[in-house]
Amino acid sequence: MKTLTDQLAQYASYHRDRRNIITHFVGIPMIVLALAILLSRPQWSLTSVPLALSPALLLFGCATVYYVALDVALGLVMAVFSAACLTAGAWLAHRSTPIWAGCGAALFIVGWIFQFVGHMAYEHRKPAFADDVIGLVIGPLFVLAEILFGFGWRRALRDSVERRAAALRDSQHDRHQPI
């Protein structure tokens, strides 16, 4: 399994333009919330479990286990964000179908618009998940890490990610140059 530094650096190598990263600060949380909403139906209640089971709970539970395996502290912070999204999703799942589906679909579509505008207008490069589907899972963790880095959290990790991302970007650029 790749380390946290490996995963963040790989993702960061596709996200060097600050404007693109800013679009991700908006788009990725919207997409994550949309998934929590759209996958909160159907819900199955079990008398022995205090939470209603749903595809959203299963997806977010698996993602949280992966995040904690990469880094306990960052994984736990992501778990708090995930719990908030799941709570909103469960609440909307109990509303009418047009409200539930409309909110989820609108967030999903607008979130992806932000993503693609960031990549097409600013980065001029395809999204990370186009080359490695794990980028879909790492994106939310990247956004959270970037926010925390902005507050001075784990500077050594930030510096290591930046160095490795720059080296990856340079090697990817060299491979695409005509001989």
> In the chain, what is the greatest distance between 2 CA atoms, to the nearest angstrom?
65
What domain count does the chain have?
1
Q: pLDDT confidence of 58, banded at 50, 70, 90?
A: very high
Q: Two tokens at 59?
A: 């997806």
Domain that holds residue 154: 4-175
pLDDT tens for 87-131 read 999 999 999 999 999 999 999 999 999 999 998 898 888 888 888
- Count helices and strands (H / E) in the chain: 7, 0
DSSP-based three-state secondary structure for 64: helix
pLDDT tens for 126-174 read 888 888 889 899 999 999 999 999 999 999 999 999 999 999 988 865 5
- Pick the closest to residue 37 from 123, 101, 96, 112 (CA basis): 101
